[in-house]
Copies of this chain bind each other. A is one copy, B any other.
């Protein structure tokens, strides 16, 4: 058979798997948005059967034959050609999948579904005890999976690599050690400095009005509502359910406008990446997000670089004032300064940009200890409290403000948190590179014109799919290997704004 015919067969196999994957993603979305409590158990079984079918396709021996035959073929001679990219990346996927037994894949799918629902309920009831047995099982299953993937190497490194190709604890340290040193210095500087007043909390912001603002804002940011939608979820997330169907979720707090506002900008950032992918390559690596770190870079960039900039805030303010009577008489500049206040707090997703990475550091340390069995699940609340005390100088009053705040571990996302810090590192580098080409973004932000930035990101990041690895993709977009320097420079400006 000609390589072209083999390639078409491979594409068809991959797309069929992607289609089934999009079925599973639809059910996952439903689980987090609308599933009634009584349906959780069956949902777990549904996820298990789908995971099994997906695994079966992923390790199909015919796929291995096709990959083998194509790897050395003329179609893959140019490594940057889309065919070569897809063959290379599908091969990695095949190698990954066949390391993990089908039963484990099915168990993980079922258990993480049930555990996620248990987490949401336990969080509502502020009861870690109700969640602990579920987390115990998820950690055990993730350990088993990590050992399969590590094949003798370090289990936690295997999970880091699973989210960000090439990442290990050593490589992560090389980026975050200077970052943390810089953060410590910044925090020292603001000790005792005058704090601006409280941000957008304590007001009366009807959820219906916040949802309507969210729809307006998503459209303004360039999210195509005809090819996606926006719903509520306990833990906001974004997911692509197939070409033309990108689902964003957010959480709204009727007393604090900032919670929903930044959740929406964050998730729309993910959504713009999804909607910016090459539709002709849907279901293939060339049409997929390259890594979780890059995905978070897009989310954090829109949330922080755009959402917290003084210029965009000046644009947004009249819109907010018109929609929320509670803001009457408030001063836009004062609210903006308050919103960017740097101060240790309990909740990661509403933390300021500086302390945010200390929240991440706590999670990385703890999840690594859990995975290695050095920390028992039952001891997690105490370990969490101690880590917050030593890292941020505060102790959460209950587990909802502590170790129950994130749904990641319940969902099996151990090794994921590093993506947020990497995301901010990438986002700062990408912003600097975009400004080198486009000039300062502030004037456009001030007009609410976000198209130039969005187009630049689509051209330099979204459209490439998995054509390059994450580090190489960023390096190509910026002209240099990513480091923490740009992020630290940005955070320094944030802190100066706070003190001033």
Please report A residues at the B interface, Cβ cutoff 8 Å.
Answer: 16, 19-20, 22-23, 26-27, 30, 34-43, 45-46, 49-50, 53, 224-229, 231, 241-245
Contact = CB atoms under 8 A, between A and B. Distances in A.
Contact of A36 (B26, B30, B225): B225
**Which among A22, A30, A225, A245 has the highest number of chain B CB atoms within 10 Å?**
A245
Contacts of A39: 227, 241-245
Contacts of A20: 49
Given A226-B36, A231-B34, A23 B41 contact: no
A228 B227 CA distance: 27
Nearest to A231: B34
Contact of A53 (B27, B37, B53): B53
The number of times this chain is found in the oligomer is 2
B46 A229 contact: no
Nearest to A31: B26
Contacts of A53: 53
Pick the 8 closest A-B CB pairs, nearest first: A39-B245, A38-B244, A38-B227, A42-B242, A39-B244, A37-B226, A36-B229, A23-B46
Given A36-B228, A38-B228, A42-B243, 10 more contacts: A16-B49, A22-B42, A26-B46, A37-B226, A38-B227, A38-B244, A39-B243, A40-B244, A45-B242, A53-B53
Nearest to A241: B39
Contacts of A49: 16, 19-20, 23
B228 A42 contact: no
Contacts of A27: 23, 26
**Which among A39, A40, A231 has the highest number of chain B CB atoms within 10 Å?**
A39
A297 to B, nearest CB: 25
A22 B46 contact: yes
Given A26-B30, A30-B30, A49-B19, A43 B242 contact: yes
**Which among A16, A34, A38, A53 has the highest number of chain B CB atoms within 10 Å?**
A38
Contacts of A43: 242, 245
A244 B41 CA distance: 8
Nearest to A244: B38
A11 B262 CA distance: 49
A22 B243 CA distance: 23
Contacts of A40: 244
A36 B41 CA distance: 27
8 contacts: A19-B49, A22-B42, A26-B27, A30-B30, A38-B245, A39-B243, A40-B244, A53-B53
A26 B43 CA distance: 10
Contacts of A34: 229, 231
A15 to B, nearest CB: 9
A173 B241 CA distance: 46
Contacts of A224: 38
A119 to B, nearest CB: 18
Contacts of A50: 23
A244 to B, nearest CB: 3
**Which among A16, A26, A27, A45 has the highest number of chain B CB atoms within 10 Å?**
A26
Contacts of A228: 36, 38
A244 B36 contact: yes
B22 A245 contact: no
Contacts of A242: 39, 42-43, 45-46
A19 B23 CA distance: 13
A408 B133 CA distance: 46
A240 to B, nearest CB: 10
